[in-house]
């Protein structure tokens, strides 16, 4: 019989169609949580939703209206949300702009989860302490946030640095939540799960060279190993010691871009993101 460390807690996992999102959802459900799952592929999401015992929530983060609809659906299902795992993301070809006209690494890795988290804020605040876990990456070291050019309209977007910038934004957003919502009992943490051998990078030729070749077994870790840090943070819950920190797997204060602690970027990114998604 499995332990019930998550009993009584309500969870939403994004990017749960496969990989570490699906694994995290299954494990948390096995430990007693009520787990809701969302992803862009209905076909891949359905068996995960069946495994955790809830109906699938299909949403494409390349469409902000999908994110708004998702938040409304979650709001109809639950009165409180104890844990939000912002796990959806990946690397994307910058020239393939989103439905909303944004550079895809920016929208899918940052802007969509920013919008979702803000829309779910009332459900998080209604819980007796809530935790937001943002899946970041060591790739944040390659990122560079330019507040006046978030969509690369005035500079060339290169795929992996653009991905790294999105992952850097995950850390900045984590710190923005920590500074703004702590009084509501909402704690936020960012985490690099490790180089996971899943379908991450499926839209990227560059990443695919590693992740879909025989090199995969030398350069990556298993999906359960990648999910383990997310699960460990989930089980800690809204521990104030986590608030605003970036974990490299199980270790606090991992290597991060020097921009990650720049207060003007923490505030500026929040403000510009709110304007772009038209938050009141």
Active site residues: 163
Residues found in the chain: 280
CA dist., res. 3 & res. 27, Å (int)? 10
Report the alpha-carbon distance of residue 84 to residue 117 in Å, rounded: 8
> Can you tell me whether residue 196 is helix, strand or coil?
strand
The position carrying tokens 């949403």 is 59
Compute and round to an integer the Cα radius of gyration of the chain.
17
Q: Closest Cα partner for 98 from 86, 110, 81?
A: 110
Helices 42-52 and 19-30 cross at an angle (nearest 10°) of 20
For tokens 């876990």, the residue is 133
Q: CB of 164 within 8 A of CB of 140?
A: yes
End-to-end Cα distance, the chain: 47
d(C-alpha 154, C-alpha 173), whole Å: 23
């Amino acid at each position: 019989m499995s332990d019930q460390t998550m009993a009584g807690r309500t969870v939403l996992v994004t990017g749960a169609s496969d990989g570490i999102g699906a694994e995290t959802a299954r494990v948390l459900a096995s430990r007693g949580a009520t787990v809701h799952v969302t992803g862009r592929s209905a076909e891949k999401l359905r068996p995960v939703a069946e495994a955790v015992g809830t109906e699938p929530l299909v949403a494409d983060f390349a469409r902000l209206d999908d994110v708004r609809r998702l938040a409304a659906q979650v709001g109809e299902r639950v009165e409180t949300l104890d844990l939000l795992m912002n796990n959806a993301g990946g690397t994307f070809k910058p020239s393939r702009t989103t439905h909303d006209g944004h550079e895809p690494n920016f929208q899918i890795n940052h802007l969509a989860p920013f919008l979702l988290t803000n829309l779910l804020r009332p459900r998080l605040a209604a819980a007796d302490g809530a935790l937001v876990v943002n899946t970041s990456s060591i790739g944040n070291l390659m990122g560079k946030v330019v507040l006046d050019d978030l969509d690369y309209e005035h500079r060339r977007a290169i795929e992996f640095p653009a991905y790294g910038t999105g992952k850097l934004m995950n850390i900045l957003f984590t710190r923005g939540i920590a500074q703004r919502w702590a009084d509501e009992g909402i704690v936020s943490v960012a985490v690099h799960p490790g180089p996971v051998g899943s379908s991450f990078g499926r839209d990227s030729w560059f990443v695919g060279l590693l992740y879909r070749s025989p090199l995969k077994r030398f350069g990556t870790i298993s999906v359960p190993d990648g999910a383990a840090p997310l699960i460990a943070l989930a089980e800690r819950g809204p521990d104030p010691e986590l608030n605003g920190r970036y974990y490299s797997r199980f270790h606090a204060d991992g290597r991060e871009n020097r921009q990650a602690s720049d207060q003007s970027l923490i505030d500026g990114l929040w403000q510009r993101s709110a304007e772009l998604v038209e938050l009141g």
